[in-house]
Amino acid sequence: MPRRTKREPIWKPTKEQVAAATSNRVNDVIDYGLDVLFVGINPGLYSAAVRHHFGRPGNRFWPALNMSDFVPEDEELLAFDDCRLPDFGMGITNLCPRASARADELSKDELQRGARTLTRKVKKYEPRFVAFLGITSFRTAFGIKGGEVGRQEMSIGEAVVWVLPNPSGLNAHFLLPDITELFNELKRAVDRSKVSRKK
């Protein structure tokens, strides 16, 4: 199989552009009937500066996704390719639109408002799975105690709810191979759901 080649980002923001990105928004990448809608916590300032999801080079979302079975061997997706996610049955949004330097700057109220907005999106676009990237924000947003990564007991509309680790480089609890394997667990669940629907 062809190997992916390493590609460079289209452009890198300056420190001043990153610092000034607090009012920038990163648009949803979403379509009807997706296999998976990934849900980040909120845009970091770097992502807001480039206006693409998980834009900071040290974030492990795109490397894990590329190494997983979600992306064909001959493809490589970078943050600047986020608009291509629906081509592979995926989409991405955030719980909260407000950009910040750290996710812990968000209030409980913001996260809970975000959960209500997300619920409306999921019921409108009807993805099969909704995958949250960060368990702590997921618990806060939906008022859930406990819980681990993986499939959750709750659903949103007809969508299965899944939790993956926060891919930030600051999350030392999970290494890139661990995150990749958890992406693959989700992919296997998505594939099983397609088979069961055909029966």
What residues act catalytically? 42, 53
CB 92 within 8 A of CB 26: no
The phi-psi region of residue 121 (left if phi > 0; otherwise alpha if psi is between -120 and 50; otherwise beta) is alpha
Those residues with Cβ within 8 angstroms of residue 10's Cβ, 6 or more apart along the chain or in another chain = 80
Whole-angstrom CA distances from 53 to 47, 108, 120, 123, 189 are: 6, 22, 21, 22, 24
Q: Is 88 helix (H, G, I), strand (E, B) or coil?
A: helix
Say how far apart CA 199 and CA 195 lie, in whole Å. Answer: 7
Per-residue tokens: 33: 């009937």
Whole-angstrom CA distances from 134 to 46, 66, 119, 137, 138 are: 18, 19, 17, 6, 6
R_g over Cα of the chain: 16
